[in-house]
């Protein structure tokens, strides 16, 4: 289980807590109306923790992995909702035993931070911890920044991390200039004073990926000058890296992919066009298959692939990762396309054709209908009986 912990800027928003693993899952979902929480409430997605959570959910849905659970409190700056969240999580951590935690907009309370960190350290398997926004500030203020796996500051926040005396970014001393060309100096100073973890995504005109304390990569294209004005881009980056970490990717790989994806989404105007449909009635599924240009299966461990057969039966050309099921069902290059990596999948989407859809439909009709399967089974039964003689 991965948990996203943060706040909703509404004073009357009561605490939303994740369910323990093993209980009947109730997942959050998205629509144009906003983020639909498991308890039936809906919150807007403009920015903040809701935008982060929505991005992580979309990422996990696209990659076919378990989405993070949500731990949310209402807080407009008084700190009361954040302290309620801290107190609940401190007691619940042993039962939850999360694999990872992403902390976002929370009131920076050093005492509660340290109590929570102590509870984390008492777990048998310590979770990976990602911090951004208010919780990143308190993680630095506590003196325990090195307990975290990843921070995601912008350049201004990096200047705060570099100032060993500042209790909040507002009080960052003026000689620590928050400018792109100063990133190496600011990073070195933050590291010198133990005010950052070994891994960071430093967001700016060019995003700097720091891994194990060293510059791992710089992502500067595509460049969208208005990125920070089009809907919580910083929150999107942290949501993307959270979703990618949920898949089990390494921190360095997830951080680099998140920075690249955020820029591609902004450059292509896709951030507001991606839509997750968590569930469809059985009687409606065929409508979507017929409307699609391609059906993509991202599961590298697909045993059989009933959804693949459904799409092919509707004449929708499949694009799938190599796995036992797709390798059996799809004739590569004829009735679909088989790929080894996600970039190959992306490239394959430009290669699907209507003829491939017709071939896919024929493949199912000739080999994978219930009648075909029954006839094959009947032909095998006498042979099986003779073999056991």
Q: Are 364 and 347 in contact (CB under 8 A)?
A: no
Dump pLDDT digits (tens) for 196-228. 999 999 998 899 999 999 999 999 988 876 554
Neighbour tally for 29: CB within 10 Å: 18
Report pTM. 0.73
Task: Kindly report the average pLDDT of the chain as a whole number.
Answer: 89
The 3-state DSSP composition of the chain as helix, strand, coil percent (nearest 5) reads 45, 15, 40
Average pLDDT over residues 130-136: 95
Rounded to an integer, what distance in angstroms lies between the CA atom of residue 276 and that of residue 288?
Answer: 13
Q: What is the pLDDT of residue 212?
A: 96
Average pLDDT over residues 139-147: 96
> Per-residue confidence at 232, pLDDT binned at 50, 70, 90?
very low
Q: Which residues of 320-359 are buried (b: 16+ CB within 10 A; e: fewer)?
A: bbebebbeebbeeeebbbbbeeeeebeebeeebeeebbeb
Q: Is the bond into 222 cis (omega within 30 degrees of 0)?
A: yes
């Amino acid at each position: 289980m991965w948990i996203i912990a943060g706040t909703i800027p509404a004073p009357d928003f009561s605490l939303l807590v994740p369910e323990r693993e093993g209980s009947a899952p109730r997942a959050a979902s998205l629509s144009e109306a906003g983020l639909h929480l498991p308890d039936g409430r809906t919150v807007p997605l403009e920015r903040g923790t809701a935008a982060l959570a929505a991005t992580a959910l979309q990422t996990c849905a696209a990659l076919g992995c378990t989405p993070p659970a949500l731990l949310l409190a209402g807080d407009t700056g008084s700190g009361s909702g954040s302290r309620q969240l801290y107190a609940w999580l401190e007691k619940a951590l042993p039962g939850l035993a999360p694999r990872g935690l992403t902390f976002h907009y929370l009131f920076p309370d050093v005492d509660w931070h340290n109590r929570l960190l102590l509870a984390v350290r008492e777990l048998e398997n310590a979770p990976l911890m990602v911090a951004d926004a208010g919780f990143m500030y308190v993680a630095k203020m506590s003196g325990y920044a090195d307990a975290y796996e990843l921070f995601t500051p912008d350049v201004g926040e990096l200047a705060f991390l570099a100032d060993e005396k500042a209790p909040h970014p507002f009080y960052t001393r003026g000689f620590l200039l928050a400018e792109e060309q100063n990133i190496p100096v600011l990073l070195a100073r933050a590291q010198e004073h133990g005010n950052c973890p070994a891994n960071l995504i430093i967001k700016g005109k060019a995003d700097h990926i720091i891994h194990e304390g060293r510059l791992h990569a710089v992502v500067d294209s595509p460049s969208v000058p208005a990125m920070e004005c089009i809907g919580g881009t910083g929150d999107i980056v942290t949501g993307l890296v959270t979703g990618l970490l949920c898949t089990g990717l390494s921190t360095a790989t997830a951080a680099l992919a998140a920075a690249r994806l955020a820029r591609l989404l902004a450059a292509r105007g896709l951030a507001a066009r991606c839509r997750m449909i968590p569930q469809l009635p059985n009687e409606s599924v065929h409508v979507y298959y017929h409307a699609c240009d391609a059906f993509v299966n991202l599961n590298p461990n697909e045993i059989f692939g009933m959804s693949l057969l459904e799409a092919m039966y509707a004449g929708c050309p499949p694009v799938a990762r190599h796995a036992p099921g797709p390798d059996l069902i799809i004739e590569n290059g004829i009735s679909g396309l088989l790929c080894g990596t996600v970039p190959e999948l992306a490239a394959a989407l430009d290669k699907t054709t209507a003829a491939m859809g017709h071939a896919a439909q024929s493949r199912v009709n000739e080999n994978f209908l219930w009648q075909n399967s029954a006839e094959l089974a009947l032909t095998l039964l006498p042979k099986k009986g003779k073999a056991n003689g």
